[in-house]
Amino acid sequence: MKVYQTNEIKNIALVGGTKSGKTTIAEAMLFEGGVINRRGSVDEKNSVSDYREIELERQASVFSTVLYSEFNGKKINILDAPGFDDYIGEVIASLKVADTAAMVINAQNGVEVGTEVTWRQVSRLNKPAFFIVNQLEHEKANFDEAIRQMKQAFGEKAVVAQYPINAGTGFDTVIDVLKMKMYKFPSDGGKPEISEIPDSEKEKAEELHNAIIEAAAESDEALMEVFFENGTLNEEETAKGINLGIATRTMFPVVCASAKNNQGINRILEFITENLPSPTEVELEKSTEGNEFKFDESAIPVAFVFKTAIEPHLGEVSFFKVYDGTLNESIDLVNTATDSKERLSQLFVIAGKNRQKVDKVMPGDIAATIKLKSTYTNNTLTTSKNQSVVVEPIVFPEPKYRTAVKAKNANDEEKLATVLKEMNSIDPTLKFEQSKELKQLILSGQGELHLNVAKWMIENLEKIEIEFFPPKIPYRETITKSAKATYRHKKQSGGAGQFGEVHMMIEPYTEGMSNQTEFPVRQQEEHKLLWGGKLVFNNCIVGGAIDSRFMPAILKGIMEKMEEGPLTGSYARDIVVNIYDGKMHQVDSNEISFKLAGRNAFKDAFKNAGPKILEPIYDVEVVVPEEKMGDVMTDLQGRRSIIMGMEAEGNYQKIKAKVPLAEMNRYSTTLSSITSGRATYGMKYAEYQQVPSDVQDKLLKAYEAEQEEED
């Protein structure tokens, strides 16, 4: 394979709704470029892209697949991304390294949920884009309706570059208003027959051609002046304007295809090589310190790992994009996140399940290597330890669906944790945590489908039977008023006994509060708790009632009880403890005595200090079609939410709310149901707040019942 220079490289991400035909388009692109010698299909389970067992089972993409094609002396790197919202992390990672998004539209269904969800990410990342209206051979294909919906959803920047003459059964011809030619495709695809536009289509073609010229002129002030002066642009000026318009997102051309029949793909590849920007012609990627990468082959090498995968017979594969410098086989690099050295012993270009060894990778190109020791997704590899060369990491969405998981066979628990760690390295949006507090293994992801697919992979590929069950909520306990308690621990049995007496007052802690004045504070310790909040421990002893050497033991007893709160066994927080009196015995007093006295005094005081249960509150943002707002708002209010505001986001409304985590169980499934899958949401931890009294009563009764069962 030849070494492609930066200006000979095009990086595109195939994105859009599920079943829009992205994988079929990718297959045809590889066939037209000569990378494969026969086209597979999703239905026949032999495509280059969807080759993993779970994808063969579901007949849909679950992971993004890195591919490439060669056409007109250019290399086209293709990232085939899944269409499900649950796998939006794969889409985001693909868009990170792509220079252009190829948005695939199903000609039967027009703008679908997956299209809208993906477009938000394309817009957020400010990526150039073009549209492929696919499946024009289908009897229900409706190109004009698809265009109407696209303009409604994406604005007038969506400009028709091709339109079909005979969409539906028998489709084989388009009018290309960029070239102002008619393209007739063979029934089995491939190179089209090119001819002049028939008289019956000339008026429509001219109208659309003029719209393209006007859009091209709007991409550049100098071209706009020429357009105003002459009323049009010549062929060279038009080509320049189209290229610039795509790169600067002032236009989104629409092209046509029947990927199933390989019709239109050859022309789309030509369009990609002639009109899409190379890596240096788009907004340049920046380092974490704000420096732009120039794709300079003479600079120090900088490679960014955007994807990690486990492949049969290969092991761990790291996919990367080169932002500066040139990578040669056996180059030694440093992982800026860990300072560990990595040798790229082999370099590959990847086409799904196929791979080809290369000796060199130029700036702007995408390639892969294997068996790196400690490098994963979002890591930067370079020859310098200078942090100015660290590529800005991919920002993955926070988890929004969680479940508790355990192996059915207790002997598999350790193996399950290892498998989940490996799965997280492949998919950073799939997270797990062994919660000491909840005594559960918590698995989190983007939705119910996301976790169900993970379950399938664990059970079918790793042969570990697992079960999901509702996760516990990490409640907290605190107090609302001050209270005193005295506890004497006394134990006597032959020889030295145990004795310790502690007098304690506790009160609520609030940020910036002044010391309470009932007792003078001789010594104060402020402890920032691992689970949030604080404990302030005041030694108020005067006259030596308790020796200072026993204070750490009293504190230890209190901390033990705070880790298992008196109400529900949840962590306690935000409390001031004042030790103001007590007694000790010259012989029988020891650390264990005062630890137990401190623990029990705290427990007794806590129950008389207006104890309250706190629950985690999350900031939730729901992006929803306007006509579905009422249903979504009603559902949120039924979840004890507080609506914080609403604002427009394109053709959608964004609802901002604060919602208790306890009320968010299975929300992604409910939201999908009430909006027909058209809404999406994100959630992020905000704070802890007191639960309502009726909820607290239920929690206390549930905890009491649980304790009785354990007894």
Q: Which residue did the predictor score with more confidence, 676 or 77?
A: 77
Question: Does position 384 have pLDDT exceeding 80, yes or no?
Answer: no
**Residue 46 pairs with which residues in a beta bridge?**
none
In the chain, % of residues over pLDDT 90: 70
Q: Do 500 and 586 belong to one domain?
A: yes
Q: Which CATH number goes with the domain that contains 413?
A: 3.30.70.870
Q: Which residue has the tokens 């695939």?
A: 104
Give the total number of structural domains in the chain. Answer: 5
Q: Which residues pair with 507 in a beta bridge?
A: 576
Task: Report residue 711's pLDDT band, with 50, 70 and 90 as the boundaries.
Answer: low
Q: Can you tell me the distance from the alpha carbon of 551 to that of 504, in angstroms, rounded to the nearest whole number?
A: 12
Domain that holds residue 407: 401-472
Pair (444, 496) in one structural domain? no
Note the pLDDT of residue 494: 65
Identify residue 231 by its one-letter amino acid code. G
Q: Does an H or E element contain 9, and which?
A: strand 9-16
Residue 708 has pLDDT above 80, yes or no: no
* CATH number, domain with residue 96: 3.40.50.300
Q: Are residues 77 and 181 in the same domain?
A: yes
Q: What is the pLDDT of residue 461?
A: 87
486 and 549 share a domain? Answer: yes
At 175 the three-state DSSP class reads strand
pLDDT at 133: 97
Q: List all residues 6 or more positions away from 340 whose beta carbon is below 8 Å from its beta carbon.
A: 334, 373, 374, 375
227 lies in a domain?
no
pLDDT at 182 over 90: yes
CA 626 to chain centre: 25
Q: Are residues 268 and 121 in the same domain?
A: yes
Please work out, in degrees rounded to the nearest 5, the angle formed at the alpha carbon of residue 369 by the alpha carbons of 364 and 373: 125
Q: Region 551-565: what's the mean pLDDT?
A: 95
Separation of alpha carbons 34 and 28, rounded Å = 10
Q: Does 163 lie in the same domain as 28?
A: yes
Whole-number average pLDDT of the chain: 91
Residues 6+ apart with CB under 8 A from 498: 489, 490, 491, 492, 588, 589, 590, 592, 593, 596
Read off the pLDDT of each residue in 343-367 and give the average, rounded to a whole number. Answer: 92
Q: Are residues 22 and 150 in the same domain?
A: yes
Q: Average of pLDDT values for 25-45?
A: 86
Structure tokens at 137: 């051979």
Q: Is the pLDDT of residue 473 over 60?
A: yes
| pLDDT bracket for residue 230 (50, 70, 90) | confident
Three-state SS at 383? coil
pLDDT at 543: 84
DSSP string, 652-681: EEEEEEEEEGGG-TTHHHHHHHHTTT--EE
| Beta-ladder partners of 308 | 318
pLDDT the model gives residue 665: 87
User: What pLDDT does 464 receive?
Assistant: 96
Instruction: Please enumerate, as own/partner, the contacts of 650-653 that have beta carbons within 8 Å and a separation of 24 or more.
Output: 650/120, 650/123, 650/153, 651/152, 651/153, 651/625, 651/626, 652/116, 652/623, 652/624, 652/625, 652/626, 653/623, 653/624, 653/625, 653/626, 653/629
CATH number at residue 490: 3.30.230.10
How many residues in total does the chain contain? 711
Q: Are residues 261 and 169 in the same domain?
A: yes
Q: Is the pLDDT of residue 180 over 90?
A: yes
Average the pLDDT over 343-365 and give the result.
91
Distances (CA, A) of 67 to 25, 38, 49, 323, 637: 12, 15, 8, 19, 46
Decide if 223 is inside a domain. no
Q: What pLDDT score was predicted for residue 139?
A: 93
The DSSP bridge partners found for residue 320 are: 305, 367
pLDDT at residue 74, as a whole number: 96
Residue 459: what pLDDT? 93
Tokens matching residue 273 = 């090589």
Q: Residue 515: what pLDDT?
A: 65
492-501, 518-527, 637-646: range with lowest mean pLDDT:
492-501
Judgement on whether residues 481 and 427 belong to the same structural domain of the protein: no
Tokens representing residue 152 in the block: 């409604």
Q: What is the pLDDT of residue 465?
A: 96
- In CATH, what number is assigned to the domain containing residue 671? 3.30.70.240
- The DSSP bridge pattern shows strands 483-491 and 498-508 to be antiparallel
Residues 23, 41 contacting (CB under 8 angstroms):
no
What's the pLDDT score for residue 536? 95
Between 589 and 577, the higher pLDDT residue:
577
Sign of CA dihedral 636, 637, 641, 644: positive
Tell me what percent of the residues of the chain surpass a pLDDT of 70.
98
Nearest to 11 by CA among 349, 427, 378: 349
Lowest mean pLDDT of 61-70, 266-275, 508-517, name the range: 508-517
Question: Are the C-beta atoms of residues 429 and 369 closer than 8 Å to each other?
Answer: no
**What does the pLDDT read at residue 710?**
66
Region 498-504: mean pLDDT is 94
**Same domain membership, residue 113 and residue 57:** yes
| Residue 672: CA count within 13 A, CB half-sphere | 16
Identity of the residue numbered 560: E
How confident is the model at residue 233, as a pLDDT? Answer: 86
Q: Which amino acid is at 565?
A: G
Task: Encode pLDDT of 122-160 as tens digits.
Answer: 999 999 999 999 999 999 999 999 999 999 888 899 999
* Residue 84 lies inside a defined structural domain of this protein: yes
Phi, psi of 592 (to 5 degrees): -60, -35
Residue 518 lies in a domain: yes
- Which one of 569, 602, 635 terminates a domain? 602
Find, among 439, 461, 460, 457, the residue nearest to 449 by Cα. Answer: 457
Residues in Cβ contact with 634 at an 8 Å cutoff, skipping those fewer than 6 apart? none
Residue reference for tokens 């195939």: 14
What's the whole-model pTM score? 0.86
Of the three residues 559, 583, 602, the one that is the final residue of a domain is 602
Q: Is residue 10 part of a domain?
A: yes
In a domain, 187, yes or no: yes
Q: Quick one: 688 and 570 in the same domain?
A: no
pLDDT of residue 599: 96
Q: For 564-576, what is the mean pLDDT? A: 92
- Whichever domain contains 340, its CATH number is 2.40.30.10
Single residue among 472, 497, 529 that ends a domain in this structure: 472
- pLDDT of 516 higher than 70: no
**pLDDT of 387:** 63
Dist. CA 282–CA 276, nearest whole Å: 10
Asked if the structure places residue 131 within a domain, the reply is: yes
Give how far Cα 414 sits from Cα of 235, 359, 465, 470, 555, Å. Answer: 66, 40, 13, 21, 34
Residue 241 has pLDDT above 60, yes or no: yes
Q: Is residue 232 part of a domain?
A: no
Q: What is the pLDDT of residue 353?
A: 78
Give yes or no for residue 62 having a pLDDT over 80.
no
Distance, CA of 241 to CA of 210 (rounded, Å): 13
Residues 266 and 408 in one domain: no
Q: Which residues pair with 162 in a beta bridge?
A: 176
pLDDT tens across 411-448, in order? 999 999 999 998 998 899 999 999 988 989 999 999 88
pLDDT tens digits, residue range 307-338?
998 887 778 899 999 999 999 999 999 999 88
Residue 570: its pLDDT value, please? 93
- Give one DSSP letter per residue of 420-433, joined into a string: HHHHHHH-TTSEEE
